[in-house]
């Protein structure tokens, strides 16, 4: 303590004859920084023997008599101290004198209160007042301590804190002492305000529970201090985090964890909005009708909004581990995500109503709902565009991208909350729109792990706060019937969730992926409550205006109980429920695939051992031990399986010939053929997912397209015998949705066929009117007139200006009305009958009619001598003048159509990307069909299925290219660029590994390539298709030679064919080289075999495989036949109207 007084020259302590005051004197005089003079006061020197002995030992101590509650004694002591200090003044005054009179509510008396108040509060103030001249004298001389040259220290206590009088701090029922110390704290604050300009510090200190005559002998350590500080720190912590901690549970998962690719949004919306409202309504009925807390409906709905959100982290983790249907997992997780957004809105609305329903204005409530429900998603959308713009300039920089993802999340949340919107909904929309597509693929794994870690830490934080702080607050108000009510609430919420699922199951089973009774059972039992409900309970507890005992503490207690019960019961029994429903059972196809994989691993193991045993260096190895260690067991081949592996063996069974002992394959049984086909189907689906991921890794597919294809493949896995067809992916490029609808409506408004076909009249006047109306000058003049009309309309809404310029504004209104009327007249003369059929003209007539009524009312009534109702009518008609500005919307329609076309092109580009990826996947799998199944008949059947699916996909893509050629050209160009860039990067890696480039040189080159890869994100979704000349330039064997291209152009001509026309017939002599410029053709025939192989196959036409394919713009046909003079092996027919360049 004394180190703080190293610049203090003079110091005075009251009440220094015993206890804390005496100990302070001892500490000061025994330190190396003892003040030159220490004034120690006592009420009676005869009772201060220890203090007087200390003064004899240390000359710096001066003992002065001072009775704190006697004003004459205070004045006398002041004079005595002044004579001791002289002109030096007093640097520090410590008001330590005080008493502690205990008294509870039942025992306290007025005399005790007044005595404690006089000694502990009034006397420090009077002493400070009496010694103030000495303090000011020291402050003016600048001989004090730092920036504060003098100080007044009042010894107070935490028991005087009003805020801390709860929990453990409320255990000490000493009314007189606590009230007097609370008064002393306020007096200290008041004195500090007055003395700050004088350079005098005034403060109160809490020394803690000290073992003195007043503190008593039962002091066991700083228990109270530690306990109070601990809980106060925890309280401050959760108060500062109460709106921050809810963010991770609603957003972090949605940003990078939940991808609703296989679940339609209507399923999730059905559960999270109508389903959530059903839950809340029934829970509120329970709270009002069953609980005895006398809650109103607003409080009950607030409580229902707190306990209804689900947090199915454990159940979702189990479903993923057992490999259950991904659609069910996403449905449960998606419901939880959108439940959070719905619950936070309901909670905030009903919390305000529960606090003071009469303080809520209907208009304010409507504005709040609009901001939270409609504006919040829009703000999240805008912030996602900002992030996408930033990320477009960053590539493969993990630190910056992760920092940006974290910062933009909290920035979005806080700005939305500050503007009155819902931060949860805004960040949820940000996460759904942003996703990981916009981040560099190289840091994706690290990014996901970072957010998972952050989510885990946030969950841990909220549970620690609840367990340490909230439980301590709530348990002191725990009643006998609370435990019963918590159990009732647990069973009621599960029953309510059952009712909700039953009510919505007819709709859930008919939309999206379907919904069966097993899924319903899992959905009901997965209604686990977690951190989000606890956080809402904390927010309710911190709300001012709610009853502390019957509302705040009960909500905290019941919410905590619900979380504990659902975690202890639902979470721990989820595995048992999944086993009971059969969702943990491994399906036969999965067992077949695992068995086949294990068999292949064992074959590889035997082959490797065979090679190693002949190695001269390993010949004497312990092969028995090695074989035991590396042996791989089938994890699905459990002992209690009812069906043995042999019944569905995917490998053809063999038998041995009795003469030569040679293995001869047996003819598979129908059951075995079915099982082998199913096992092959599973392998094909897995190979498809591998192909899609490989295309994404190489940049041929964007992440969204790859994820969509993989998700679609996973959904098809659950349907026995079903393969992925073009129908499963065609929906992604079909023109439908709100963008297409809006574009069609805007085009109908913008372009009127009847008006466009209108011809001018032969009458001179009408013809002149036609020329004026349909000129650009007239149109620009009208738009300028509308803009000028906005200024007087705005002035009318400014009270001072409208009254001062009333006549001028009326005159301006007449002029503009006359102008609009003349415009309508000219258009009517120019368009005649067609005038009334145009939508914009109808709107103009409506505006003119309202303006006419407005002028009539204005002339007949105005604002003079009118009752309030007529004034309101006049004002309403004046408000209709603002509708004139809506005519300017016509200028914006072309821009709106352009924006809609851009979004539609993105959708079509995404669909074409998916279709292209699907075709490439089918082609990749066709190459490995023979390795998928050893049975030739099954391999051939699979090959036919894959080829059929590929042809249908190519045909659909060709039709898409016919309707939207720019989309297809853009996707193909982007793929070509990425392929070349990948090749360049691989070349750089090869040069670096070969030592031809050092790390810095390779890094510079690779950085340039990565920048170009990042620029592909901004690649336009549509590019104009190339002309015939451009296609000729890019023919590989012409090598861009000008002479060769000129020769081809001179010998060629453009030909046009309709749908169904035949361009080339099989068996005909070659008539030239055909270059498809636009459209799509169907190619059917045999592969172009040449040389001896051609002659050998010609003799056996049955072995010549026939193919069917589709070709689009850029395809070259008949070039090899012209060079070899072989007859045409293919027939080419037009699938669409086709344009081709034929070189004769």
Residues 6+ apart with CB under 8 A from 943: 926, 929
Percent of the chain with pLDDT over 70: 79
**Rounded distance between C-alpha atoms, residue 293 and residue 554, angstroms:** 9
| Residue 754 pLDDT | 47
> Average pLDDT, stretch 889-894?
75
Q: Which of 158-172, 561-575, 975-989 has the lowest mean pLDDT?
A: 158-172
- 837-840 contact pairs (CB < 8 A, 24+): 837/752, 837/754, 837/755, 838/752, 838/754, 838/755, 839/748, 839/749, 839/752, 840/749, 840/887, 840/890
**Rounded distance between C-alpha atoms, residue 818 and residue 809, angstroms:** 14
Confidence check: pLDDT of 834 > 90: no
User: What confidence category does residue 130 fall into, taking pLDDT thresholds of 50, 70 and 90?
Assistant: very high
Q: Please say whether the beta carbons of 652 and 886 come within 8 A.
A: no
pLDDT one-digit tens code per residue, 649-684: 444 555 566 666 665 556 666 776 777 787 788 888
| Residue 595 pLDDT | 73
Confidence check: pLDDT of 188 > 70: yes
* pLDDT, mean over the chain: 77
- Phi and psi of 1073, rounded to 5°? -100, 130
pLDDT one-digit tens code per residue, 1025-1040: 887 777 777 777 777 7
| Residue 261 pLDDT | 41
In DSSP terms, 154 is beta-bridged to 95, 204
The CA–CA distances, whole Å, from 1022 to 93, 237, 646, 907 equal 83, 53, 55, 11
Q: Which of 260-264, 353-357, 754-758 has the lowest mean pLDDT?
A: 260-264
Q: How many CA atoms lie within 13 A of 334 on its CB side?
A: 23
| Residue 476 pLDDT | 67
Q: Please say whether the beta carbons of 391 and 343 come within 8 A.
A: no
pLDDT one-digit tens code per residue, 209-229: 555 555 554 444 443 333 433
In DSSP terms, 1130 is beta-bridged to 1085
Confidence check: pLDDT of 590 > 80: no
Confidence check: pLDDT of 166 > 70: no
**Rounded distance between C-alpha atoms, residue 62 and residue 41, angstroms:** 8
Q: Is 16 helix (H, G, I), strand (E, B) or coil?
A: coil
pLDDT one-digit tens code per residue, 432-454: 777 545 666 666 677 777 777 77
Angle at 615 between CA 614 and CA 619, to 5 degrees: 80
Walk me through the domains of the chain, giving residue ranges and CATH numbers: 2-222 (3.40.50.720), 242-581 (1.20.1530.20), 592-609+633-649 (no CATH), 747-894 (1.20.120.350), 1028-1143 (2.60.120.10)
Q: Please say whether the beta carbons of 675 and 592 come within 8 A.
A: yes
Angle at 390 between CA 384 and CA 391, to 5 degrees: 85
The label of the residue with tokens 């089938």 reads: 634
Confidence check: pLDDT of 871 > 60: no
pTM over 0.85: no
> Average pLDDT, stretch 142-158?
72
* CB-neighbour burial class of residue 56 (10 A; exposed 0-12, middle 13-18, buried 19+): exposed
The label of the residue with tokens 């042996």 reads: 631
DSSP-derived pairing of the beta strands 37-42 and 10-13: parallel
Percent of the chain with pLDDT over 90: 5
User: What confidence category does residue 491 fall into, taking pLDDT thresholds of 50, 70 and 90?
Assistant: very high
The CA–CA distances, whole Å, from 713 to 360, 672, 692, 710, 725 equal 52, 25, 10, 5, 10
| Residue 646 pLDDT | 42
| Residue 234 pLDDT | 41
| Residue 6 pLDDT | 59
Q: Please say whether the beta carbons of 627 and 585 come within 8 A.
A: no
Q: Which residue has the higher pLDDT, 300 or 965?
A: 300
The DSSP code for 167 is: G
Confidence check: pLDDT of 461 > 80: no
pLDDT one-digit tens code per residue, 597-623: 777 788 888 888 888 888 778 777 888
pLDDT one-digit tens code per residue, 1060-1098: 888 888 888 888 888 888 888 888 888 766 555 554 445
| Residue 41 pLDDT | 93
User: What confidence category does residue 269 fall into, taking pLDDT thresholds of 50, 70 and 90?
Assistant: confident
Confidence check: pLDDT of 729 > 70: yes
Name the range with the highest mean pLDDT among 310-314, 636-640, 1132-1136.
1132-1136
The label of the residue with tokens 């990981």 reads: 436
**Rounded distance between C-alpha atoms, residue 542 and residue 552, angstroms:** 8
């Amino acid at each position: 303590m004394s180190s703080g007084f190293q610049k203090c020259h003079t110091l005075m302590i009251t009440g220094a004859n015993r206890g804390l005051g005496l100990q302070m004197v001892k500490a000061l005089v025994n330190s190396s920084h003892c003040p030159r003079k220490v004034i120690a006061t006592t009420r009676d020197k005869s009772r201060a023997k220890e203090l007087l002995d200390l003064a004899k030992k240390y000359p710096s101590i001066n003992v002065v008599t001072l009775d704190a509650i006697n004003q004459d004694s205070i004045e006398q002591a002041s004079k005595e101290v002044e004579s001791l200090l002289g002109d030096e003044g007093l640097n520090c005054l410590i008001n330590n004198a005080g008493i502690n009179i205990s008294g509870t509510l039942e025992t306290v008396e007025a005399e005790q209160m007044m005595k404690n108040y006089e000694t502990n509060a009034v006397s420090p103030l009077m002493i400070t007042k009496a010694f103030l001249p000495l303090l000011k004298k020291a402050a003016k001389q600048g001989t004090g301590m730092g920036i504060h040259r003098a100080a007044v220290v009042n010894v107070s206590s935490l028991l005087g804190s009003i805020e801390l009088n709860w929990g453990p701090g409320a255990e000490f029922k000493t009314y007189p002492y606590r009230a007097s110390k609370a008064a002393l704290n306020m007096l200290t604050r008041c004195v500090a305000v007055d003395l700050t300009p004088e350079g005098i510090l005034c403060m109160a200190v809490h020394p803690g529970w000290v073992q003195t005559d007043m503190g008593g002998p039962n002091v066991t350590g700083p228990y109270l201090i530690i306990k109070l500080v601990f809980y106060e720190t925890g309280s401050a912590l959760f108060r500062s985090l109460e709106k921050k901690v809810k963010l991770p549970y609603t957003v972090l998962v949605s940003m990078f964890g939940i991808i609703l690719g296989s679940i339609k949004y209507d399923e999730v919306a059905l559960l999270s909005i109508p389903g959530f409202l059903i839950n809340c309504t029934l829970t509120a009925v329970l709270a009002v009708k069953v609980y005895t807390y006398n809650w109103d409906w607003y409080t009950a709905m607030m409580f229902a909004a707190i306990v209804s959100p689900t947090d199915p982290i454990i159940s979702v983790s189990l479903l993923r581990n057992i490999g259950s249907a991904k659609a069910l997992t996403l449905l449960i997780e998606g419901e939880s995500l959108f439940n959070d957004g719905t619950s936070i809105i309901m909670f905030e609305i009903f919390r305000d109503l529960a606090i003071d329903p009469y303080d809520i204005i209907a208009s304010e409530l409507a504005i709040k709902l609009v901001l939270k429900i409609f504006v919040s998603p829009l703000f999240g959308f805008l912030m996602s565009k900002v992030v996408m713009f930033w990320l477009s300039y960053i590539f493969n920089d993990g630190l910056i991208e992760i920092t940006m993802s974290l910062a933009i999340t909290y920035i979005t949340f806080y700005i939305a909350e500050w503007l009155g919107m819902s931060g949860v909904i805004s960040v949820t929309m940000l996460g759904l729109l942003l996703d990981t597509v916009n981040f560099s693929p190289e840091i994706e794994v690290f990014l996901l792990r970072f957010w998972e870690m952050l989510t885990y830490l946030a969950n841990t934080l909220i549970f620690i706060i609840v367990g340490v702080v909230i439980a301590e607050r709530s348990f002191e108000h725990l009643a006998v019937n609370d435990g019963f009510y918590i159990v009732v609430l647990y069973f009621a919420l599960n029953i309510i969730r059952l009712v909700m699922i039953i009510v919505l199951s007819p709709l859930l089973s008919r939309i999206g992926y379907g919904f069966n009774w097993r899924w319903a059972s899992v959905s009901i039992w997965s209604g686990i409550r977690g951190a989000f409900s606890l956080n809402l309970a904390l927010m309710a507890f911190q709300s001012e205006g709610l009853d502390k005992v019957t509302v705040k503490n009960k909500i905290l207690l019941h919410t905590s109980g619900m979380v504990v019960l659902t975690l202890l019961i639902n979470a721990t029994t989820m595995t048992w429920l999944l086993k009971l429903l059969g969702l943990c059972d491994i399906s036969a196809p999965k067992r077949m695939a695992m068995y086949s994989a294990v068999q292949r691993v064992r074959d590889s193991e035997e082959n490797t051992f065979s090679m190693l045993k002949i190695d001269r260096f390993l010949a004497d190895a312990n092969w028995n031990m090695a074989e035991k260690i590396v042996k791989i067991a089938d994890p699905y081949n459990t002992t209690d399986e009812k069906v043995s592996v042999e019944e569905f063996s995917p490998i053809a069974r063999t038998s041995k010939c009795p003469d030569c002992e040679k293995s001869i394959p047996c003819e598979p049984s129908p059951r075995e053929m079915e099982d082998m086909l199913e096992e092959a189907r599973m392998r094909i689906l897995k190979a498809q997912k591998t192909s899609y991921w490989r295309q994404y890794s190489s940049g041929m597919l964007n992440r969204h397209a790859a994820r969509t294809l993989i998700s679609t493949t996973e959904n098809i896995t659950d349907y026995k015998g079903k393969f992925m067809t073009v129908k499963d992916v065609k929906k992604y490029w079909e023109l439908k949705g709100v963008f297409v609808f809006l574009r069609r409506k805007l085009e109908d408004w913008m372009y009127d066929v009847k008006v466009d076909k209108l011809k001018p009249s032969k009458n001179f006047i009408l013809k002149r009117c036609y020329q004026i109306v349909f000129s650009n000058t007239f149109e620009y003049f009208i738009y300028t007139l509308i803009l000028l009309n906005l200024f007087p309309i705005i002035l009318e809404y400014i009270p001072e200006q409208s009254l001062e310029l009333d006549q001028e504004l009326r005159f301006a209104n007449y002029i503009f009305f006359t102008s609009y009327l003349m415009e309508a007249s000219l258009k009517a003369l120019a368009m005649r009958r067609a005038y009334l059929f145009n939508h914009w003209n109808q709107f103009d007539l409506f505006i003119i009619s309202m303006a006419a009524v407005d002028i009539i009312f204005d002339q007949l009534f105005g604002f003079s001598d009118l009752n309030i109702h007529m004034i309101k009518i006049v004002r309403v008609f004046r408000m209709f003048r603002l509708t004139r500005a809506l005519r300017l919307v016509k200028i914006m329609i072309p821009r709106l159509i352009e924006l809609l076309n851009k979004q539609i092109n993105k959708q079509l580009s995404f669909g074409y990307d998916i279709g292209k990826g699907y075709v490439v996947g089918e082609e990749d799998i066709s190459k490995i069909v023979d390795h998928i199944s050893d049975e030739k008949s099954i391999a051939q059947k699979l090959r036919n299925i894959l080829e059929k699916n590929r042809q249908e996909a190519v045909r659909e893509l060709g039709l898409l290219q016919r309707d939207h050629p720019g989309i297809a050209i853009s996707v193909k160009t982007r793929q070509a660029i990425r392929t070349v860039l990948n090749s360049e990067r691989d070349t750089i890696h090869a040069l670096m590994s070969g030592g031809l480039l050092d790390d810095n040189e390779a890094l510079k080159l690779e950085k340039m390539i990565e920048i170009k890869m990042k620029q592909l994100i901004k690649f336009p979704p549509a590019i104009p298709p190339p002309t015939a000349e451009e296609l000729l330039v890019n023919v590989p064997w012409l090598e861009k030679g000008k002479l060769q291209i000129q020769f081809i152009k001179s010998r060629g001509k453009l030909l046009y064919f309709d749908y169904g026309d035949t361009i080339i017939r099989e068996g005909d002599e070659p008539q030239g080289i055909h270059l498809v410029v636009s459209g799509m053709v169907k190619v059917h025939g045999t592969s172009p075999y040449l040389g001896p192989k051609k002659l050998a196959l010609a003799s056996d036409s049955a072995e010549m495989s026939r193919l069917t394919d589709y070709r689009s713009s850029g395809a070259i046909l008949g070039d090899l036949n012209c060079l070899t003079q072989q007859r045409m092996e293919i027939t080419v027919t037009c699938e669409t109207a086709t344009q081709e360049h034929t070189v004769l």
